[in-house]
Amino acid sequence: MLRIAQETYDAIVAHAKRDHPDEACGVVAGPEGSDRPERFVPMVNAAGSPTFYEFDSTELLALYKDMDARDEEPVVVYHSHTATEAYPSRTDIGLASEPNAHYVLVSTREHGNSDGPVEFRSYRIIDGVVTEEDVTVTAPETPKTNQEESTP
Amino acid sequence: MAIEVRIPTILRTYTDGAKSVEGDGETLSALIDDLEGSHPGIKERLVEDKAGSIDLRRFVNVYINDEDVRFIGGLEAPLGDGDQVVVLPAVAGG
């Protein structure tokens, strides 16, 4: 199961809508081994395509070095489909190379750049085998009261 | 000569889980052959036969001291003592 914070879920959906009709892509990094997607990192789709996505190779290296320095891993790898359902394509399955990641697919085919619901689904893709999993969106943490905030 | 090679998660099955291994070679091609000696099977995951010659796989990125090897000679890119090589599978799909 993927547990993801509401604000991160919203950020992924907003990115997908913004980049429609091209595919949007990115990761949500989290502490290694924690399975907690915490740090939203939208990436540029270097392919700039409605049917393909690829992280730019220089940005890919920078991302992995940054995660390495923070003891993080890509907990979520997300991308959008803009004309088809939110299910991994053959290419997605063939190229999936993060066995520990949740692969999130968002489909913007219904509403494009406009408001409206999207399909948001999550999968494990290991050795060419796709397993869909439940997605639980967690509420934002309760804001701290004034008393708990540090005084200037 | 020692060259540090950073191994991505998906290829750590070839390195007993090690995130980084040491190798040897004056070019990337020689380094990959050296790695194949100590970690059999890894070469096939990095290179493929393209029209009769060996080349890096399209969706494998290799960097020497932060430079994508595709811009510095590909498999013939020169290596020296203390260089750092990073292997990263492309994050891509359709």
Residue A85, domain CATH: 3.40.140.10
| Domain assignment of residue B51, yes or no | yes
Residue A35 has pLDDT above 60, yes or no: yes
Amino acid residing at A132: E
Q: Which residues contact A116 (CB under 8 A, 6 or more apart)?
A: A110
pLDDT, one tens digit per residue, over A123-152 is: 999 999 999 999 999 997 666 555 555 545
Domain of residue B26: give its range: 3-89
Once rounded to an integer, what is the mean pLDDT over residues B18-24? Answer: 97
Domain of residue A124: give its range: 2-139
Residue B78, domain CATH: 3.10.20.30
Residue of B nearest to A84 (CA): B94
Residues of A in contact with B89 (CB under 8 A): 95, 97
User: Mind telling me how many Å the CA of B14 is from chain A's nearest CA?
Assistant: 15
| Domain assignment of residue B8, yes or no | yes
Domain count, chain A: 1
| Domain assignment of residue B62, yes or no | yes
Compute the distance between CA of residue B71 and CA of residue B69 in angstroms, rounded to an integer: 5
Once rounded to an integer, what is the mean pLDDT over residues A11-38? Answer: 98
Q: ipTM score here?
A: 0.93
Q: Which residues contact A55 (CB under 8 A, 6 or more apart)?
A: A25, A43, A44, A45, A46, A63, B90, B91, B92
Once rounded to an integer, what is the mean pLDDT over residues B32-49? Answer: 97
Once rounded to an integer, what is the mean pLDDT over residues B61-79? Answer: 97
Q: Who among A58, A60, A73 is closest to B91 (CB)?
A: A60
| Domain assignment of residue B94, yes or no | no
Q: Who among A43, A57, A92 is closest to B93 (CB)?
A: A92
Q: How many CB atoms lie within 10 A of CB B47?
A: 21
Domain count, chain B: 1
**A24 in B contact zone (CB under 8 Å):** no
User: Mind telling me how many Å the CA of A97 is from chain B's nearest CA?
Assistant: 6
pLDDT, one tens digit per residue, over A72-128 is: 999 999 999 999 999 999 999 999 999 999 999 999 999 999 999 999 999 999 999
Over pLDDT 90: what percentage of chain B? Answer: 96
| Domain assignment of residue A147, yes or no | no
| Domain assignment of residue A6, yes or no | yes
